[in-house]
Chains A and B, each alone.
Chain A
Amino acid sequence: MHNADIPPDVLRQREAKWLDMLNSWDKWMAKKHKKVKLRCQKGIPPSLRGRAWLYLSGGKVKKEQNQGKFQELDSQPGDPKWLDVIEKDLHRQFPFHEMFVARGGHGQQDLFRVLKAYTLHRPEEGYCQAQAPIAAVLLMHMPAEDAFWGLVQICEKYLPGYYSAGLEAIQLDGEILFALLKRVSPVAHRHLKKYKIDPILYMTEWFMCAFSRTLPWVSVLRMWDMFFCEGVKIIFRVGLVLLKCMLGSQEKLKACQGQYETMELLRSIEPRYMQEAFLVQEVSQHTLYTVQYVVSSSKHSLCLPLLVTFGKCMP
């Protein structure tokens, strides 16, 4: 259903290309990374998506380096403090997906195992509610052990600190997003500033769940294909595209004069801006922005240069 628009012979060709890549992965990553990136932008064939994500994320390597680790964590009881919270969330992830629809069904059981294993793997981090949709999307594509290592990679390599106590990393990225928006769409930036709309009011779920609960499903998969290849900048770019499309012209802003009205608008993004072909196009077109962002906190100030490439073409 996800590739209804791709002719079967093209799909078969792509599968062959991806199989070839997966079979000599290290070589491809070392020597032809651009090609890998391009193929991720075109979309990973559904039949190989789970495997490709695990390879791209480095989860496969981690799994091999830590053989038996998941089984070991899986066999431990876990801290009741976290288990209690995780259990409350099991039926609240993609509740209409066939895999998670049945209470206590296989999907929910695996979700429990993966999330519990993570709290044992990083007891100081524990469990954050936003990890559940991430783990659920992974589980739709791979077995529990692989999903666990995929989750580890997302939490530690792709979005470090997003789920940690205090949630400082997500708030920092919110401010960076806002600083980037000033360059990408001054109109949208001014509007959000005028109504004192703090980034965490609209980007928390977007970023913490890597858009898995925001975009139509086909687009989620395409964005994740690119995200696993290129990292967090894909998340930034999607966020910037959506903000620019929704708030980027005076005409659009007429209808949302106010904080609440604006947040309502950002919660009901027009489908055409979330459509996969449009998003892939916008997100993969390159204009280079460098934003030097200075963050001062009570203890110290960090200087974070962030390189974000961003689509130029806009409606």
Chain B
Amino acid sequence: MQNNRKEHLYKILVIGDLGVGKTSIIKRYVHQTYSTNYRATIGVDFALKVLNWDSETVRLQLWDIAGQERFGNMTRVYYREAMGAFIVFDVTRPTTFEAVSKWKEDLDSKLTLSNGQSIATVLLANKCDQKRDFLTNNSLKMDQYCKENGFVGWFETSARENININEAANFLVKHIIASENDILKSVVPDTISPQLNSDKEMTCSYWLSLD
């Protein structure tokens, strides 16, 4: 390991209905591979990705969480101390998109940052290499959906074709770092930071950078 490199360690959740491709996304991102032969995840699985981030090192612990509703009782333990999340759905199956808001609510109700905010969450419309016939065709609507539901952004991804996965991860990391800075700022007494709306401005600028 290099000297004096600042290290960040972030726990990132990957959640969403079963069979949407959570494991495939993680394997693609971490191991640069794709297979149609992954086993269904029972409980939780893990992987580690190390990024060089400017002059710093970012270590991402990716938590691959079983998609079946039945495991919902265990998510409180899985979510603990996470800093960011991907919620994944399958563009070929509308029901998996309908479940997205359930996952988001579950996440927000069980986990908040120390400043009370929910953790940075990115929506992934996976399997975009396949035929799709709803919503994600309309990116304005998706933007709107993300705003209304508290996602920092969304990406069309394909684990099979390796589309947008690195981009989505970088985007999430950027947000996590920003929200960390926010928390640091909020520790400083009010008199020093007079801009009360800084949160909102921050969000806006990221929204712009999405396009």
For A130, what are the chain B residues with a Cβ–Cβ distance below 8 Å?
42
Asked if A200 and B68 sit within 8 Å, CB to CB, the answer is no
Assembled-state Cα–Cα distance A80/B42 (Å):
22
Main secondary structure of the interface of A (DSSP, over half): helix
Query: How many whole Å from A310's CB to the nearest CB in chain B?
Result: 24
Asked if B70 and A171 sit within 8 Å, CB to CB, the answer is no
For B146, what are the chain A residues with a Cβ–Cβ distance below 8 Å?
none
Q: Does B44 contact A (CB under 8 A)?
A: yes
Would A93 and B40 be within 8 Å (CB), given that A88-B18, A129-B70, A167-B71 are in contact? Answer: yes
Q: Does A156 contact B (CB under 8 A)?
A: no
Would A208 and B43 be within 8 Å (CB), given that A85-B68, A95-B37 are in contact? Answer: yes
Assembled-state Cα–Cα distance A260/B63 (Å):
10
Candidate in A129, A132, A171 with the most chain B CB atoms within 10 angstroms: A129
Partner of A166, one of B73, B78, B80: B73
A199: nearest chain-B partner, CB-CB: B77
Partner of A201, one of B39, B61, B77: B77
Query: How many whole Å from A267's CB to the nearest CB in chain B?
Result: 7
Among B44-100, those with CB < 8 Å from A are 44-46, 48, 61, 66, 68, 70-71, 73-74, 77-78, 80
Partner of A96, one of B37, B46, B68: B37
A129: nearest chain-B partner, CB-CB: B68
Asked if A85 and B18 sit within 8 Å, CB to CB, the answer is yes
- Please count how many residues in chain A sit with their CB below 8 Å of the partner chain's CB atoms: 33
Asked if B37 and A208 sit within 8 Å, CB to CB, the answer is no
For B77, what are the chain A residues with a Cβ–Cβ distance below 8 Å?
198, 200-201
Partner of B46, one of A92, A95, A129, A260: A260
Assembled-state Cα–Cα distance A204/B78 (Å):
12
Assembled-state Cα–Cα distance A85/B68 (Å):
8
Q: Does A264 contact B (CB under 8 A)?
A: yes
B71: nearest chain-A partner, CB-CB: A167
Would A204 and B68 be within 8 Å (CB), given that A88-B18, A129-B18 are in contact? Answer: no
Asked if B39 and A93 sit within 8 Å, CB to CB, the answer is yes
Q: Does B19 contact A (CB under 8 A)?
A: yes
Q: Does A38 contact B (CB under 8 A)?
A: no
Query: How many whole Å from A241's CB to the nearest CB in chain B?
Result: 20
For A166, what are the chain B residues with a Cβ–Cβ distance below 8 Å?
70, 73
Q: Does A91 contact B (CB under 8 A)?
A: yes
Assembled-state Cα–Cα distance A85/B46 (Å):
23
Asked if A213 and B18 sit within 8 Å, CB to CB, the answer is no
Would A165 and B36 be within 8 Å (CB), given that A88-B18, A88-B19, A264-B46 are in contact? Answer: no
A128: nearest chain-B partner, CB-CB: B70
A contact set with B: CB distance below 8 Å:
85, 88-89, 91-96, 128-130, 132-133, 163, 165-168, 171, 196, 198, 200-201, 204-205, 208-209, 213, 260, 263-264, 267
A-B contact pairs, 25 of them (CB 8 A): A88-B19, A89-B19, A89-B40, A92-B39, A92-B40, A95-B39, A128-B68, A129-B40, A129-B42, A129-B71, A132-B40, A133-B39, A165-B70, A171-B73, A171-B74, A201-B43, A201-B44, A201-B78, A204-B43, A204-B74, A209-B42, A213-B39, A260-B11, A263-B46, A267-B45
Instruction: Please name 5 further chain A to chain B contacts, defined as beta carbons within 8 Å, in addition to the given A89-B40, A129-B68, sorted by A numbering.
Output: A93-B39, A132-B40, A167-B71, A167-B74, A205-B42
